[in-house]
Structure 1
Amino acid sequence: MIFKNSSIFLLGLLTSKAVFSQEIGVESRNRIMNAKQGTIVELPNFLTENFKHIAYDKIIQPGPQFMISDDPEYIRIPEGIALKESVKPGAVRLYVYNVNGVKEPKKIERKITAIIKNTGNKPLTIKMLKYSSQLPSTDYFFVGKNGLSDYFSSNGKELKDRKVAPGEVIAIDPKLEKHVVKYDELVHGFYEFIIDQPAEIAVLQTSPEKSSAKAYTEIKTAIPSNHKNAGRGLFGVSNYKIFNQNIINTAEGVSQLVLADGKTDPWVVGIEGESGKISKLAGNYGVIYDIDLQWKSTDGKGLALVTWNSRAGDNKWCSGMAASMVTSAGVFKEGVVQLPSDKLITKSEPEVIVIQVFKPKNIGEVETLNLKYSPPGASCLPTPLIFIPVDL
């Protein structure tokens, strides 16, 4: 069993790497303090991957049954199932990330959609808690950033509760049923919902004219996993809680919180339903990190939070980064912020995105800031969160 129980347990400590602290100059400080939330500023001769790492504890929180469809990412056959999993009554999170990859014998329009089949013996009710549905697009950065932003902002009221008869198949997202997906376009859906009967969840590609219910009854097996993308399956972790081990002090210089790097923060694992084999989610995409960090100012400075595309030099796929997250209040109000908000992407150093600036209430008083983060689809990881002491 993947979901053993709802108890919280400690995964353990993460790491401190080589210490590197650095002061920013007056000009760079002014750029940060004069920037609007989410916008890009340049900090020349400042960025490094060697900033002091914030050591943290990571706790698995109770959460929904979580599955992602990204293996294969590009669906190369006209009709096929990209994900098929059985779920129990309760909460479910589904992340759809698939591309129409049909190009032989020619490029054709397709439909990529997600379905639920009631495998119980009573009517199933599906109640949406979080709903994020994007138009198919070849602009993967735009889709990934807006998909996260819509998910964080959603309260589930975008879709009414629906009933599914025993044995019946319906589309989870009615919008996906209507979209025509051209070659190389990405379909991105991010959902969280509650069901009260056992069910099958599937993501499939078919012709625009055919209903997903009909396609699901006709397609008998899922496309074999190629192990080249993020992954697919039913994963054992959907939510993490993050606590820093040591209080951040503005007097101690710049520090960074690095999540979803696959090293200090390993990839979650689960079971791929069709094969029964262990599956690894490379990127932890769709996993929600609830972050509480304690900090204080013993020198009267504030704490600026920025991020940057630290992987820009890796390869052509890493040339840009776009994300969304939730931050507690500071100079800017609490809530969802797109990163960046003034452009589609941030490219590389010296660019940083200003997320928030926290002001101390009193000198030396310990405070807690809260962030909600999920690794951004289409972007290379990690996307470090940099905390910079700044004069107010």
Structure 2
Amino acid sequence: MSDSPTPAASGQRIPTSTLLAAAQADGAVQIPLLYIPLGDSAKVAIKVQVSVDGWNNGQPVTQFYEFDTGGKGFWLDSTTISTSGVTSPGTVETLYTSGNYYSGPAAAATVSFPGAVVPTGTGTPAITAEVGLITTFDQYPQGSMIQSTDPLVVVSRATGKQVYPKAASFPIFTECYGDFGASLNPTAGPPSLSNPTAGFPSLLSVLAQYLPTRSGLETGFIVSVPTGEGDTGWLILGVGSQLSALFTTVVTMNPGTPDSFTLPNGSTVPTYSEQVINADVTLGKQNLPSLGICLDTGCPHVVLHGGTSLVITNAGQNMGPLTITVGATQLMQTDTYATMPSPATPDGPGYINTGVQNFMPFQVLYNIATGKLYLS
């Protein structure tokens, strides 16, 4: 391989063989991703092994989890495993736009990846991070949100009226026993449905807490999703010069609030917003410059979330052709999308979740150390 690999043309996928060869040359770990058909779209899954002191009789649990770049923290099914022996700093919870609600104790875990390809000279990843052990799994109506003025109430984003859940069970999407969140934004820690009197622990993606030990690798990862049944996708841990050289478009990631997260060893890593980048949007006859974009493998379709700039009055409202551009790169052009109305209580300008479809024509590199995001 040459010192400077040839990048893909802007907006094209890097051939898998080229991507994996660069990862091998850099000494980056390569983890398979599974394609799960879901109607006219797909879900992506990752196989993970988790060990927690005092849990599952001291034995590791190995399962598939949804690989979710829009999700915060790692949440795993413990609805049939007692958590009575687990030492926990407190209860954690999350509510997804899909309506899935998870709650349970936070716990320190060791996370590893069966099936990972580990180059010679690179240590096998065994990441220590706090995770959420799901003891309550409920399903609210799609588009629900925790009320900003009362964290003990869940309401419809569209109407502001209170909504109620039904009990749910695993697996989800036929294969998955929780959500392996890869968002670089941590969960918040105010009072909550599950812990109404105090703050609760904050969780951050396991991937953001992987600190490469091999010289020349920076903290970060690459997402190359599988594009169909029978295709293997890849998560690459660690970012080196050979990998970076394959990508054509570079964007600055939006900082998180707060902008850093303290790891179990006392060191800190930077965090980034759920709307990880901004892009220029044309929607029908509207021009919306520098709108927030959530790159989300966990969302099966493109979803427009209304706000004060991206004003949406009705669910399902079609507002004309959508074009999203980052610099000179057209990220997406479509007239097929879902819409979530602007909330009754304004909470920002609105944003677009580009869904898993955005990852089909592109690979995405997140360099956590430098705060840059790369598109192939």
TM-score between the two structures when normalised by the length of structure 2:
0.26
- For CA contacts below 8 A with separation 6 or more, give which structure has more relative contact order: 1
- Structure whose alpha-carbon radius of gyration is higher: 1
